[in-house]
Structure 1
Amino acid sequence: MIACQRHLFDMPDDRAYLNCAYMGPLSRRVVEAVRRGAARKAQPWTVVPDDFFTETDKARGLFAELIGATSDDVAVVPAASYGIATAARNLPLAKGQRILVLKDQFPSNVYGWREMAKANGAEVVTLGKAQDDDWTRVILDAIDDRTAIAALANNHWTDGSLIDLVAVGARLREVDAALVLDLTQSLGALPFSVKDVRPDFMVCAAYKWMLGPYSIGFMYVDPNWQDGEPLEQSWMTRSNARDFANLLNYVDDMQPGARRYDMGEFSNFALMPGAIAAMEQLHEWTPKAIAETLGAKTRDIAAQAAMLGLTSPPDSSRAPHFLGLSFPDKPPANLVADMAAQQVHISVRGTSMRVTPHLYNNDDDVARLMDALRAIL
């Protein structure tokens, strides 16, 4: 269990920010790293050619360590949608085959598959949630010989319902289907290993549970797909990219591993230092300890909310860092604005009120949340 880390963030005592699933705040450490990075760009004569690559290589390694991969398996991307588009460009899909997605899945992990299916005469199959919140069983029951791709998350973004990705990945391999993951709503707060799950592609935007800057993300690519077609034809992904004096000697060879899929201008001298600082902090805390700490907090919130008539998925079927609360009928009108007026910040997604704390939240935040709910209900 990790003690409250509020002192590391610019978090006023009178404000209960329980909305990390919307956007994770930058710690003071990350803000300072971004400030230093931006200040360096103000004096470009201090930026040498190696600087275009060294920090990104460090970030690549930190991300790889989070997921049990190697630096060569990691590409730098600007958004989850970029990673999904990369996967869609490289995975095979035949006429009549199926792509599995979940009902109310995050749009970035839906739109690209719709376009891919349309172009190939395939079908996107949207799976509905079971009454007992068991997404895993629903997914496993849907996988058959027609399945080409399953595009999923580790937990559902509306209410935190958990998916057993190890079981799903194993079943997909039995029918020679691919697994593509968007872990933006879990990575950093929930342990994950590519060695256990074995996804074909996995992408994560850094601005939520990784507590990093907006418009920076990372993508894991299984070695089987590391010789594919990138979305961009960038000079930075070519084998001679570090030799600035000879860039006009155009080459076809790419940088090794997943680097061929890097976005253009991946160096990002202002934001990449912030992403590094954020991941260094996550490594110090560890996702396992974060999950255990946040699990205790969300269980407490769920128990108190139940006394007000609100329900949530059982602990066994939801991610520990993520709580979706359901009202007897539907969320009250203007719920988000009314809560914010009382300095309590949550989200509503679908029919769930998302309560997603992090290590900066304390008991006073939970008390403020409950007081605000009582006043509204």
Structure 2
Amino acid sequence: METFESLVRAEFAPKNTYLNTASTGLLPARTVAALGRAALLRAEGRPLDPLFDDVEAARAAFARLAGVSAERVAAGTSVAAHTGVVAASLAPGAEVLTAEDDFTSVLNPFHVRGDLKVRAVPLERLAESVRPGTALVAVSAAQSADGRIADLPALREAAREHGARTYVDFSQAAGWLPMEANAYDFTVCTTFKWLLGPHGAAFLVVPEDFGGLTPVLAGWVAGENPWDSCYGPVTELARSARRFDLTPALFTYAGLRHSLALIEELGVAAVHAHDLALADRFRAGLAALGHQPVPAPGSAIVSVPGLGVRQPELGAAGIQVSDRAGNLRVAFHLYNTAADVDRVLDALSS
């Protein structure tokens, strides 16, 4: 029986100390092989039908990770596009509550509407800031800049109390943090970070009744019978969340289905325990060096104020991390080890 460690060793062989999953996850070997097979189909002029099957397999796998039926999952290309669909559904003058300095893709589509009241508050005050008249609360489950985790249960209760809807971005959480999409009105997630997929895929989870969304970006793939919807207006939209699909990046989904399969094989609970053990080891090491990271208990992302300037020298030493808002951001995932933690601590101590 394969263990967590043996599965990971079979899939990953980084040539450096890679601690930058919050920017981009590494591709598993099985995903790289699938991308090659997909490219050959097109290079050799063979039918691309199997690649559309990959889209559906990836949709189903993500639905299982999210804890919902596949009929509630729309497949697209970016968080910003999905946010745009949610933003388009709001009435003029509606209030959207957001967290200060959240990731742009979660925020900007609401701002560019020009006729919405977008209010930003500190992440820690988000739940208490929901008020009568708040139409929607939009937030990342884990903050990109520093890994802070939103108090989603408190937010859910506050939204229910005041009749507000919730839109939660799991891009920095899905894959290592358990995801309960059923608990929120809308959830969204890109897949090239902790879910280890290629760039170019993102999923939107909607309620069974679609939550009042209009498929403003619908093309032929959003038809109930896509191949009968190629010319003229779509006469019948899909009866499922597929009505919100965007034309898929087929090669991306060909690889993504295998990345998601690996996450399922390992289990999010096991990945969560692995990632947090490394993050906590790093936090303890930082304390010993006299550094205080941004408080983000329970997060796989550790952000250290004032050390962002060290990113270039760490990169030159083969340690891949990020400089975000002046902070040194270090992200731990399933292919990292205690040796990786110790290496970056040794580099910071010099």
TM interval, shorter chain, is over 0.9
For 2:33, the equivalent position in structure 1 comes to 32
- 1:93 aligned onto 2:87: no
TM-score, L = length of structure 2: 0.92
Q: Deviations over 1:249-288 (max 9, x none)?
A: 8652111211111002x2x332212110000000001111
Q: Deviations over 1:135-156 (max 9, x none)?
A: 2xx1121111031111101111
- 1:303 aligned onto 2:284: yes
SS in 2 for 1:104: coil
For 1:75, the equivalent position in structure 2 comes to 74
Structure 1's 362 and 256: CA in aligned 2 closer, same or farther, altered over 3 A? same
Q: Deviations over 1:207-248 (max 9, x none)?
A: 1011001011111111232663223241221123245xx855
Counting matched residue pairs gives: 347
CA distance in structure 1 between the aligned counterparts of 2:240 and 2:293, rounded to whole angstroms: 42
Does the 8 Å contact 2:55/2:250 carry over to 1? no
Structure 1's 229 and 341: CA in aligned 2 closer, same or farther, altered over 3 A? same
Q: Which amino acid in the other structure matches residue 299 of structure 1? A: D
SS in 2 for 1:109: helix
Does the 8 Å contact 1:323/1:355 carry over to 2? yes
- 1:325 aligned onto 2:304: yes
Does the 8 Å contact 2:39/2:251 carry over to 1? yes
TM-superposed CA distance for 1:45, in Å, is: 3.4
**More displaced 10-residue stretch of structure 1: 227-236 or 70-79:** 227-236
CA distance in structure 1 between the aligned counterparts of 2:267 and 2:168, rounded to whole angstroms: 21
CA distance in structure 1 between the aligned counterparts of 2:142 and 2:233, rounded to whole angstroms: 44
For 2:244, the equivalent position in structure 1 comes to 261
CA distance in structure 1 between the aligned counterparts of 2:51 and 2:88, rounded to whole angstroms: 27
Does the 8 Å contact 1:178/1:200 carry over to 2? yes
For 2:102, the equivalent position in structure 1 comes to 105
Does the 8 Å contact 1:155/1:318 carry over to 2? no
CA distance in structure 2 between the aligned counterparts of 1:281 and 1:188, rounded to whole angstroms: 10
CA distance in structure 1 between the aligned counterparts of 2:212 and 2:117, rounded to whole angstroms: 27
CA distance in structure 1 between the aligned counterparts of 2:234 and 2:299, rounded to whole angstroms: 48
CA distance in structure 1 between the aligned counterparts of 2:261 and 2:109, rounded to whole angstroms: 32
CA distance in structure 1 between the aligned counterparts of 2:51 and 2:255, rounded to whole angstroms: 15
For 2:204, the equivalent position in structure 1 comes to 219
Q: Which amino acid in the other structure matches residue 298 of structure 1? A: A
- 1:59 aligned onto 2:44: no
- 1:141 aligned onto 2:128: yes
SS in 2 for 1:179: strand
Structure 1's 52 and 2: CA in aligned 2 closer, same or farther, altered over 3 A? closer
TM-superposed CA distance for 1:8, in Å, is: 1.6
Does the 8 Å contact 1:7/1:360 carry over to 2? no
SS in 2 for 1:229: coil
**Map 1:35-54 → 2, pairs under 5 A:** 35-48=36-49, 51=50, 53-54=52-53
- Specify every segment of 5 or more residues in structure 1 that has no aligned partner in the other structure, as ranges: 130-134
**Map 1:179-328 → 2, pairs under 5 A:** 179-195=166-182, 197=183, 199-225=184-210, 228-243=213-228, 251-264=234-247, 266=248, 268-314=249-295, 317-326=296-305
Percent of pairs identical after alignment? 26
CA distance in structure 2 between the aligned counterparts of 1:210 and 1:39, rounded to whole angstroms: 24
Q: Deviations over 1:293-329 (max 9, x none)?
A: 1111110010001111111245xx5343221223xxx
For 2:149, the equivalent position in structure 1 comes to 162
- Specify every segment of 5 or more residues in structure 2 that has no aligned partner in the other structure, as ranges: none
Instruction: Please provide the CA RMSD for this pair.
Output: 2.1
